Chain A
């Protein structure tokens, strides 16, 4: 794909959001699409962090949850509007992400996934235990961005946020930062020896991807309107990881394809009930990882040899 196509993708999403809001979709479909934007932002930013920068953090869903609960705090506690929270939370969560980045600077290789997993686990236990703040499993109620049950506004907003994500992603991957991140992913010692400032690159990668996760969380809170600690379950993280790896980690459109595949499966098997859906989705993700190693994009492009170089980022 050429650079021009990459720049058209954001426009496409904005246009799609506008168009779909005008057609008037069935509520089920609209809900599916709007929440898919939440997952696209999460899987996409996780792909930038893990697939491009090589930092396998399992705290990403924790950052989204922080963004959601922060939004609730601003709206319920601070009396601000949901719109203000959508702007403030990415910044606040980026600072949290910077903290994670500092941890990542201290450790090597497989330690980061372990630590971030423990971090997310501790945060989940805290959320469940601090029922005086989170209202326990009853959840917190938030007002909608505009009163009523109109989904068209969220379709437009979702299209804009998805477009925004692809703009940021293009800027990163095609710019300096993206190349420096990938160098660190492939061999940190050599990158360091070449003069790459590991500190700056890692912190930047963590902060930018955390901001996107915070934005996702804030969008979720504003849309769903009810927050429960289960938002931070490892199952949700599993979902995000599955989406990123099914398409292919380290591929620009990997998460998009993963989100489309998983959300479609979810849509078609929803009749069986939530428990079956979860088994099917995690099962499919596991099979893809075991048999297609680098994901669907790599597999398909191997079937079309000439395309390989172009599909790669």
Chain B
């Protein structure tokens, strides 16, 4: 009984760490620029394809695949910011929020179509860094790949916390969040810090996808599933809150695994959805979210 519980809890946390890593870039970008990026899932998808290419085709070691994924994710995120988003959020048009959503949504569809054309629809797999099952306390078994992925995810999120709260980049980001116009007036280069935020967001998404790849599959439409998970995480945690994203990611992982183990194995995705609905009913702005001034 306790054995099953502890095992589920650990498994849930391991899974949740990856959800958090997947979603944290989305939340960061929203926090700074008020942009919801519907192409975030495709940053992840293209990152995992980069890893498959480097490891599967070039035969390089697995860890180089992780770097390739982060670099590819960052590059495509950077290009997205420059080509698609910047012209919108720096413009004076009305309904910018909705407009960026439509533009990034169409971009995501374009990237999926382009990836399908270039890579085909075959499901690919990435070898793991540590393909072994480990026994913890003699009776709990966890896959080595999951542990590696979790440790990497937590390390990356810790790094992000450090950047946000301890460095000049983070200070500038926070100034932008609180008052974009004021920040521009006191000489903070909005473009530069927006680019940095997108680079970080894309790198995190790509890395998360590459860490997930040994556990799941790599295919052109995989970004949609990643985005659904990331959305559920940021809605639960509160859009724009990094703390909230970390907490909600872990919570989502635990709730999914617990539901699967104790309720019914067929509906893993439904539990996260139910959790999201519950949060919306009691705290529409998310667990760590704030409501803004309206009138």
Chain A interface (Cβ < 8 Å from any Cβ of B): 50, 54, 56, 58, 103, 106-111, 113-115, 117-119, 121-122, 125-126, 129, 189-190, 193, 233-235, 238, 241-242, 245, 275-276, 278-279, 282-283, 285-286, 289-290, 293
Contact = CB atoms under 8 A, between A and B. Distances in A.
**When A and B form their complex, which 4 residue pairs have the shortest distance between CB atoms, in order from nearest?**
A121-B228, A238-B109, A282-B110, A278-B113
Given A111-B239, A290-B84, A241 B106 contact: yes
A122 B276 CA distance: 12
B291 to A, nearest CB: 7
A274 to B, nearest CB: 9
B103 interface: yes
A286 B108 CA distance: 10
Contacts of B93: 293
A129 B273 contact: no
A119 B112 CA distance: 20
Give the interface size class of chain B.
Answer: 35 or more
Contacts of A115: 231, 235, 276, 280
Contact of B232 (A58, A118, A242): A118
26 contacts: A56-B98, A56-B102, A110-B101, A110-B239, A111-B239, A113-B38, A114-B234, A114-B235, A115-B280, A118-B228, A121-B224, A121-B227, A121-B231, A122-B269, A129-B266, A190-B295, A234-B109, A235-B113, A238-B105, A238-B106, A245-B106, A282-B113, A285-B110, A286-B110, A289-B103, A290-B103
A115 B101 CA distance: 13
Interface string B117-138: 1000000000000000000000
Contacts of B163: none
A129 B270 CA distance: 11
> Per DSSP, are chain B's interface residues mostly helix, strand or loop, or mixed?
helix
B116 A189 contact: no
Interface of B: 30, 34, 36, 38, 83-84, 87, 93, 95, 97-99, 101-103, 105-110, 112-114, 116-117, 221, 224-225, 227-228, 231-232, 234-235, 239, 266-267, 269-270, 273, 276, 280-281, 284-285, 291, 294-295
Given A103-B280, A106-B284, A107-B284, A279 B235 contact: no
Contact of B38 (A111, A117, A290): A117
Given A107-B280, A118-B273, A241 B105 contact: yes
B116 A278 contact: yes
Given A117-B231, A233-B221, A278-B116, 14 more contacts: A50-B98, A54-B98, A107-B280, A109-B97, A114-B36, A117-B38, A118-B235, A118-B276, A121-B228, A125-B228, A245-B106, A276-B117, A289-B102, A293-B99
B284 to A, nearest CB: 5
Contacts of A275: 113, 116-117
Contacts of A282: 106, 109-110, 113
A241 B266 CA distance: 32
Contact of A111 (B224, B284, B295): B284
A245 B294 CA distance: 28
**Which one of B30, B106, B276, B295 has the greatest number of beta carbons of chain A within 10 Å?**
B106
